[in-house]
Amino acid sequence: MAPIKHVVIVGAGPAGLLLGLMLGQAGIKSTILEAWSTVDKRLRATQYGTPATRVLRKAGVLEDIRAAGYRNFPSICWRKTSTKEEVARIDLGITRNEEDRITVIPLAQMLEVILEHIKKLPEGICDVRFGHRVVDLGQDEKSAWVDVEVAAEHGAEQDGEIVGDKEKVRFEGDYVVGCDGGKSTVRKKLFGSEWPGVTHPHELFVCNVFYDGFDKAGWDGGNYMVDPNHWGLIAKRKPGTPCKPALWRVTYGDKVGLTQEEYLKAREDKFRKMLPGAPEPEQYTTEQTDRFKTHNRCVTSMRVGRVMVAADAAHVCTPYGGYGCMAGIVDIGGLVECLVGISEGKTDDDILTKWSEIRVEKFLRYIGPRSIKNMQRLHKPDVIDEDKFMLILKDLNDKGQDDMKAFLLKYTSFEHDFTQYYHTAPAA
């Protein structure tokens, strides 16, 4: 096959930016089209497990991400909300010197780091265009293309839509990759409204919180809160400094469709129940709140001809356990191996079908179901003593540090090496 000349990437989230960066490092040109004028700043992912860390390391961004993020995240534990008693714990300190340990940084900051690395690529190899909204796509045997709306003289980008005067522009490449998130236009153009799976019956509320009661109670790291009604995750996201208290993020599930007033009222009660010291509103300050519907859904195929969908555009899951972005980053690591292999004549285009089959299987068999279990574990406290994962943790903690360390860093069932499908001899 001839070398790949150009890949069109839709979306400048973690999947799209990482794909553009890694293709650029291999000398493959891409254009990244992003509807908004900036990267997404909402409170979403912050922790990315070892499989994602390995891809970030391969992309050469890990050191800068660690420097900008939370370099040594200390621990993860599960607590009963009613008593705050700890029922299980993973001491992450034992992996503090391991390159492949969990990565912790708010998503928006990680995107800025990846963008900086893209800027350092040779000029023109990865062209990131903000304010470019993809509205349609097409393909034939030789190429694939997207039609994009951009603001004309009296137009502007507003919440990801182009309003006022707009122009339509076409971008064409050997392949189009939709990395345009859960509401993906690329996926809808390929499959319509078909996206098998479920929508969960609650909404997730996420809030940045400054409250000295966490430190006073000796809390640190990630604290999964277990309770039938008041369940969620309370996690330290930035250690404090002499001038600024530590930043914590509180995430919990509540009824779908609360008005802003109802939400604020309910939040006071949630915080009283979930935070140590049952604080009143004057004892903490909050900064930025975002709310999300959550789903577990996956496409039947991540490839249709010359068009692919990856990460959230293809599959979404509950955020508990930090699997969503991690799964997307692992998709991209594999896709880069496939596209680079094709471009360098080490494999042929069929490898993309294999990539799709394997990534769909990994999601349906392991990632999606485990993310649901991670969530259910939080609101079914009575099962916690019989929970298989909890029993594994207990066993590992009993055996000692070496076994736990091997468990935390092992090559997981989420990962797959696509270079194993390269031809052993160079293509004729």
Residues found near ligand FAD in the complex (CB under 6 A): 10-16, 33-36, 40, 44-48, 107, 133-134, 160, 179-181, 185, 204, 206, 251, 292, 311-313, 319, 322-326, 328
Q: How far is the CB of 73 from ligand FAD (least distance, A)?
A: 11
Q: Which is nearer to ligand FAD, 303 or 346 (CB)?
A: 303
Among positive and negative, which fits the CA dihedral 60, 65, 67, 70?
Answer: negative
Residue 109: both structure tokens together: 């900051």
Cα 196 to Cα 118, 124, 297, 300, 375: the distances in Å are 34, 38, 5, 8, 20
Q: Which is nearer to ligand FAD, 24 or 324 (CB)?
A: 324
Q: Which is nearer to ligand FAD, 1 or 77 (CB)?
A: 77
Q: Which is nearer to ligand FAD, 47 or 347 (CB)?
A: 47
Contact of 235 with 321, CB cutoff 8 Å: no
Q: How far is the CB of 206 from ligand FAD (least distance, A)?
A: 5
Q: Which is nearer to ligand FAD, 71 or 394 (CB)?
A: 71
Q: How far is the CB of 427 from ligand FAD (least distance, A)?
A: 32
CA dihedral 16, 111, 119, 63 (to 10 degrees): -110
Q: Which residue is nearest to ligand FAD (CB)?
A: 13
Q: How far is the CB of 426 from ligand FAD (least distance, A)?
A: 34
Q: Which is nearer to ligand FAD, 331 or 337 (CB)?
A: 331
Q: How far apart are CA 337 and CA 345, in angstroms?
A: 12
Q: How many helices (H) and strands (E) does the chain have?
A: 12, 19
Q: How far is the CB of 326 from ligand FAD (least distance, A)?
A: 4
Q: Which is nearer to ligand FAD, 12 or 346 (CB)?
A: 12
Q: Which residues lie below 8 Å from residue 180, measured CB to CB, with a gap of 6+?
A: 10, 11, 13, 16, 35, 134, 186, 187, 313
In this structure, the chain runs to a length of 428
∠ CA 47-198-313, rounded to 5°: 55
Residue 328: both structure tokens together: 């997307």
Q: At what angle do helices 388-399 and 368-379 cross, to 10 degrees?
A: 90
Q: How far is the CB of 136 from ligand FAD (least distance, A)?
A: 10
Task: Read off the amino acid at residue 251.
Answer: T
Tokens 């470019």 found at: 132
Q: How far is the CB of 401 from ligand FAD (least distance, A)?
A: 25
DSSP 26: T
Contact of 126 with 30, CB cutoff 8 Å: yes
Q: How far is the CB of 132 from ligand FAD (least distance, A)?
A: 6
Q: Which is nearer to ligand FAD, 160 or 201 (CB)?
A: 160
Q: Which is nearer to ligand FAD, 256 or 391 (CB)?
A: 256
Residue 62: both structure tokens together: 């890990």
Contact of 229 with 290, CB cutoff 8 Å: no
Q: How far is the CB of 130 from ligand FAD (least distance, A)?
A: 9
